[in-house]
Structure 1
Amino acid sequence: MLSDIALSRHSTLLEADALAVRLDIPSRFVHPYGRHMAKIDPALLREPKAERGKLILVSAITPTPFGEGKTVTTLGLSMGLNRRGASSIACVRQPSLGPVFGVKGGAAGGGHAQVVPMEAMNLHLTGDIHAVGAAHNLAAAALDARLYHERKLGDDFTAQTGLPRLNIGHILWPRVVDMNDRALRRVTLGLGDETAVERQGRFIITAASELMAILALASDLHDLRARIGRVRLAEAVDGSPITAEDLEVAGAMTALLKQAIAPTLMQTSEQTPVLVHAGPFANIAHGNSSVIADRIALRHADYVVTEAGFGTDMGLEKFFHIKARQSGLQPACVVLVATLRGIKANSGAFDFAPGQRPPAELTAPNQQLLELGMENLRWHIGNARRYGMPVVVALNRFPEDGDEELNWVMTQACLAGARSAALSEAFAKGGAGATTLADAVIEAAIQGSAPRWLYPSALPLRDKLTTLAERGYGASGVHLSDTAKAQLEMLSQQGLDHLSLCMAKTPLSISHDPALKGVPTGFVLPVEALVACTGAGFIYVLCGPVMTMPGLGSLPGYRHIDIDEHGDIIGLS
C-alpha cells in the first residue's frame, strides 16, 4: 500500500468552486484559497435556509499511543454515507504544527480515508492558527507595555495618557507559539532591558490559547468580538479582573481573526466535502471543531460527521456540557471507535511510551487481554448512553486482526448497550470499507435522541465538580488544594457558578492518573487550580500535571520530512 502522502497525490481533486456548487453554496460566499481549498464566509448562515442534516459525533475508547483511527473513521464514515446516497460533510479540527513535527504526526486521517491535499492540511493550511497566535500575542505585548508605562509614569499616567490606571498586579495571559518547545515552559521576560518590566512568564502551544476555544465556540464575528472582550488577561492589585476590553485591545485582536472565523472547505480522497476549522486542545479546552462549521454543514448535507477529542470522558463530555450547551447543537448518535489492539492495551498489562510500536501481544490473538480491556469499551459505551445517545461501535480492522476476536468484541459491545457494532476498513478501502458502518449509523440516527446533562447549569461550581468526578469518571470524591479552594470561592463570589467546567486531565485514563488503566474506581480526583475562561464561557479545572507546552521527543517526526528533487514534500504522515 502506498504511503499516506503518495495516496493523497494520487487522489483526483475537485476545484473548490465545483465542490461548493455540489453543496449548493452560492459563489459569493466562497473565497478560493488556491485551486482546491476555499474559505466559506460565515455570512452564509444569515441566508434563509434550514438545518436539514443529522449530526453524528465520533468519539473513542481511552486513547493509546498506537491510535484508534478516530479521524480515519470520521472521514471514512462520511465517505461511506455518500456511497449510500446520503450526502455527508465531515467537520474536523485543524492540526497544530507541534504534533505534526513531534511524535503524533499529522491529523489528516490516513490511507484511503484522509483529507487532501494532506500536506496543505498539516502544514499551515490557510493560516488560521497563526492568526490566533498573532491575536493572542498582541494582547500579551499590550499587557507588558501597559505594565511598563504605568510603572514608569506612576501617578502621572492618567494625566499624560488620558487612560485610567489598570494597576496590574498579576498577569494571567501567557504567550503562545505553534510548536512543541519545552525550553519555553518557563521564561524570564524583559531581562536586562531598562524599557521593560522584568518578570517570570511562560509560553503555551497556540492550540491551548483561550482564543482558539473562542474561535471554535463563536456563532459569528460579533459574538467573537464580544467573547474576546470578556477574556481575563490579568488581575489588578486588588484582585479584580482586567479584561481585553479594559486594555482596549479586544477590537484589534478581533481584526486579526476576521478571516480565521471562516471555515476552510477541503475534500477527502473520494471528493467528500470536509470543513476544517479551529483546533482547541481536548485536554485543556473542549477539543471539538467549530460551531460555525457544523452549522454550515448541517444546512448543506443530510449527515454531518464530526469528532470529539480523545475518549468519551474528555471530548464527548465537553461537547455536551460546553459546545452543545452554548450552541444548541444536538447529535443524533455517537460513533465509538475502538480497535482490538486498543482494547488489549487498556487491559492494564502494559506500560507504553509515546512512539512505541505495538508489542506482539497486542497484535496476536489473546483472549485474556481482550476480556480485561473490554471493560474499558463497556464503560465508554455506558458513558455515551449516559448523555442520552444511541451508540454505534466502529471497530477499525487491521490486517492482522482475526474474525473470531472481532466478532466477539462486536457481540460484547451490543450486550453492553451499543445499538449496533460494525467493522470499518476505511483506511484500506476508503468509503467502500465503511458502508456497513454507514448503514448502522443511518439506522441509529433515525431513532432520535435528546441530550441529557450530568449537571444543570444552575448547580454551584463545587457541586458540578463533585458530580463530574463521581458520575463522569467514577471517582469516590474530590480533593481541592488550598489554592483551588480559594479560587472556587472567589469564582462563586464573582457570579460565575453558571459556567460549565472544562476539566484538564490526562486523556490516557478515565481517571486523573495515566497509570490507572481499564475502569479505575475508588480514586479521589485532585483539583489543583481553577481559572475563569470567561470569553470561552467555561471554568478551566486543572487536575494534576497537564501539558500546555509539549516538548519534542528524542526521535521527532521532523527528521523524516524533506523535499525531493521535484520540490515535493516527503516524509509527512
Structure 2
Amino acid sequence: MPSDIEIAQQAQMKKITEIAASLGLPADVVEQYGHYKAKLDMASLSTAQQNEIFSRPDGKLILVTAISPTPAGEGKTTTTVGLGDALNRIGKQAMICLREPCMGPVFGSKGGAAGGGYAQVVPMEDINLHFTGDFSAIAFAHNLLSSMIDNHIHQGNALGIDPSQVSWKRVMELNDRALRQVVIGLGGKANGQTREDGFDIVVASEVMAIFCLAENLNDLKQRLGNIVIGYSFEGQPITARDLKADGAMTVLLKNALKPNLVQTLEHTPAFIHGGPFANIAHGCNSVISTRLALKLAEYVVTEAGFGADLGAEKFIDIKCRKTGLRPDACVIVATIRALKYHGGVDVKDCSQENLVALKAGLVNLEKHVENITQHYGLHCIVSINQFTTDTEAEFAVVSECMASLGVKVVLAEHWASGGAGAERLANEVVKQIEANTSKLKYVYDDTDTLWEKMRKVATKIYGAADIAASRKIKTQIEKLQADGYGHYPICIAKTQSSFASDPTLSGAPTGHIVTIQQVRLCAGAEFIVMICDDMVTMPGLPKDPCATRIDIDADGKVVGIF
C-alpha cells in the first residue's frame, strides 16, 4: 500500500471555494491560501447573512477519544476523519474539527498528524508544516510579550517587576531540550538584565490556550490582557495589560483567529484550527471553529488529544464547562495491537494472536470506558481500528468484554477503505445520538478547592490513591486559592502513556501517587496548570528524529513526513 503522503499527493482535491459552497458559504467569505486551503472571514457577511447562519440550531457534536496511546498505534485522528466521511456517505451532512499539527512532533518522533491511509485531511504536507501561519502568529504574540517584559525592566521598571518572579517564558515551534532552562541578558547592561528564563513549545503557550478558548476577537483581547506575567517587588500581579501589550498581541492574532478550512480525501469539509497538546495543555481545537461547524453541518466530529483521561477530561472539564458545548455521542478508539501492548506484549510481537495478553490489556479500555460513562456521564461506542493481523477470536474477546459493560464494539476499516470502511461506525453513532440518553457530568465542581479538583481527577480518572506536592508547591496552590483563582478549572500536564505519572506503567495501574511538581497560573485562559512528576513543556528530539527522513525530491514533492 502507498505511504500516507503518497496517498495524499495522489488525491483529486476540489477547489476550496467548492468546499465552502457545499457549506452554503459565499465566495466572499473565503480567504484563499492557494487553491486548497483557506480561512473563513465570517465578518465579511452582511448582518442578515450572519444572523441567518448563527440563528440556526446546532448540529450534533461527536467526540472522538481513545485508549492510552502506545507504540503499537491507535488512530484517533484517522477515525475522526473516517467517521466524518462515513456520515456523509450514509446521507448525513457532516464536517470535522481537528487541531493543527505541531512541527515539533512532525520533525520529532510522531511524524505527520493529518490522519492516515485513506482517511486523511489534505493537502497533508501543507497542514503538517506551516499551514496558514497560525502557530507563527501565536509564537510572535507570545514572544512580543516576553520582549516587552524585559524591555520594561531595562527601561527603568516603572511597574516594579521583580525579575526573579517573572513566570512568562519564551516559546518556539520545535522540540529543543537545550532551551528548557536558559540565562538571558548576558553581555553587560546594554543587553538587559541578566536573569534565568526558559522556552516552552508553542502548543504549551497560554496564548495558544487563549486562542483556542476565545469566543471572538474582543474576548481574545480581554483574555490576553489578563495574562499574569509575574509579580512586583510588593507581591502584586503584573499583567499584559499593565505592560500595554494586549493590543499589539491581538493585532498579531487577528487573522489567525479566522478558522482554517480544508477537506478530506473524500471532500468532507474540515476545520483545522488551534493545536494545544492534551498532555501539557487542554488538547482541543478552537471554540470558534467548533461553534461555526455546528451551525454549518448536521453532524460535527471532533477529537480531544490522547486518551479519555487527558483530552476528553479537559474537553469536558474545561472546554464544555466554559462554553456550554455538549457532546451528543462519544467514540473511544482502540486497536487490538495496542490492547495487547497494554497486556505486556512487546511492540514487535503485537501482530501475533495472543488472547491472554489481550484480556490482560483490556483493563486499559475498561478504565477509559468507565471514565466516559461514569465520570463524564456519556454513552460511548468502541471503535476498533482494524489491522490486517487482527483475528476473529481477538475481536470476539473485545466484543464480549465490552458487552458486559453495555458498550457496543464496531470494527472499522477506514484506514484501508476510507469512509466506506466506517459506515457501520457511523450508523451506530447516529443510533446513539437519536437515543439521546447522555447527561454530561463534570469530574469536579467549580466550588471545589484547587487541591480537591486535582485530587478528584487523580483518584477518579487516573485511579490514583492520592496526590502529593512539596510544601513550596502547596503554598503556591494555597496562594492562588486565596488570590481568588480557586474557581478556575485545572489543566493537568501528565504523561499520555499511562494513567499513572510513570509512563512505563501500562494497563490500568491503581494505588499510585500523582505528584505535582509545578503550578502555573493562566489567568487569560482561566485555568490553573498542574505539572506532574517529570512532565516537560519543551520536548526534546529522539535519537533518530523524523526530520532525518523528511526531504524534497527533484520534482519538488515533499517526502518522508509519514
Q: Could you state the TM-score of these two structures normalised by the residue count of structure 1?
A: 0.94
How far apart, CA to CA, are the structure 1 residues paired with 2:560 and 2:86? 28
1:423 aligned partner: 411
Gaps of 5+ in 1: 152-156, 158-163, 351-357
2:51 aligned partner: 47
- Is the CA contact (8 Å cut-off) linking 1:92 and 1:289 kept in structure 2? yes
Q: How does 1:184-333 map to 2 (within 5 A)?
A: 184-195=179-190, 196-333=192-329
Cα distance change on mapping 1:51 and 1:291 into 2, 3 Å? farther
Equivalent position SS for 1:313:
coil
User: Which shows bigger deviation, 402-411 or 104-113?
Assistant: 402-411
How far apart, CA to CA, are the structure 1 residues paired with 2:390 and 2:84? 24
Q: How does 1:94-493 map to 2 (within 5 A)?
A: 94-150=100-156, 165-166=160-161, 168-195=163-190, 196-348=192-344, 350=346, 358-360=347-349, 362-386=350-374, 387-418=376-407, 420-448=408-436, 449-493=438-482
Q: How does 1:62-81 map to 2 (within 5 A)?
A: 62-81=68-87
Amino acid at match of 1:69: G
How far apart, CA to CA, are the structure 2 residues paired with 1:303 and 1:230? 35
How far apart, CA to CA, are the structure 1 residues paired with 2:554 and 2:163? 55
Amino acid at match of 1:524: I
Cα distance change on mapping 1:47 and 1:168 into 2, 3 Å? farther
How far apart, CA to CA, are the structure 2 residues paired with 1:511 and 1:166? 38
Residue by residue, what CA displacement relative to the aligned partner does 1:335-390 show, whole Å, maximum 9, x if unpaired? 0000011111112455xxxxxxx312x11000110010011111111110021111
User: Which shows bigger deviation, 536-545 or 472-481?
Assistant: 472-481
**Deviation of the 1:433 alpha carbon:** 0.5
Q: How does 1:519-534 map to 2 (within 5 A)?
A: 519-534=508-523
- Is the CA contact (8 Å cut-off) linking 2:355 and 2:397 kept in structure 1? no
- The percent of aligned pairs where both chains have the same amino acid is 44
2:21 aligned partner: 21
How far apart, CA to CA, are the structure 2 residues paired with 1:547 and 1:348? 26
Amino acid at match of 1:184: L
**Deviation of the 1:173 alpha carbon:** 0.8
How far apart, CA to CA, are the structure 2 residues paired with 1:546 and 1:462? 19
Equivalent position SS for 1:541:
strand
How far apart, CA to CA, are the structure 2 residues paired with 1:61 and 1:276? 23
Amino acid at match of 1:417: G
How far apart, CA to CA, are the structure 2 residues paired with 1:42 and 1:543? 40
Amino acid at match of 2:287: V
How far apart, CA to CA, are the structure 2 residues paired with 1:471 and 1:340? 25
- Is the CA contact (8 Å cut-off) linking 1:284 and 1:505 kept in structure 2? yes
How far apart, CA to CA, are the structure 1 residues paired with 2:161 and 2:301? 46
**Deviation of the 1:165 alpha carbon:** 4.5
2:65 aligned partner: 59
- Is the CA contact (8 Å cut-off) linking 1:330 and 1:450 kept in structure 2? no
Q: Which runs of 4+ in 1 moved over 6 A?
A: none
Cα distance change on mapping 1:255 and 1:338 into 2, 3 Å? same
Amino acid at match of 2:108: G
How far apart, CA to CA, are the structure 2 residues paired with 1:382 and 1:467? 15
- Is the CA contact (8 Å cut-off) linking 2:517 and 2:532 kept in structure 1? yes
Equivalent position SS for 1:456:
coil
Equivalent position SS for 2:152:
helix
2:505 aligned partner: 516
How far apart, CA to CA, are the structure 2 residues paired with 1:572 and 1:460? 44
How far apart, CA to CA, are the structure 1 residues paired with 2:535 and 2:238? 25
**Deviation of the 1:554 alpha carbon:** 1.4
Equivalent position SS for 2:451:
helix
Amino acid at match of 1:496: Y
Q: Could you state the TM-score of these two structures normalised by the residue count of structure 2?
A: 0.96
Equivalent position SS for 2:189:
coil
How far apart, CA to CA, are the structure 1 residues paired with 2:122 and 2:518? 41
User: Which shows bigger deviation, 393-402 or 519-528?
Assistant: 519-528
Cα distance change on mapping 1:199 and 1:6 into 2, 3 Å? same
1:353 aligned partner: none
How far apart, CA to CA, are the structure 2 residues paired with 1:168 and 1:182? 23
Equivalent position SS for 2:155:
helix
1:549 aligns with 2:555: no
Amino acid at match of 1:47: N
1:160 aligned partner: none
1:37 aligned partner: 37
Gaps of 5+ in 2: none
- Is the CA contact (8 Å cut-off) linking 1:90 and 1:275 kept in structure 2? yes
Give RMSD over aligned pairs. Answer: 1.4
User: Which shows bigger deviation, 459-468 or 315-324?
Assistant: 459-468
- Is the CA contact (8 Å cut-off) linking 1:280 and 1:287 kept in structure 2? yes
Equivalent position SS for 2:366:
helix
Equivalent position SS for 2:231:
strand
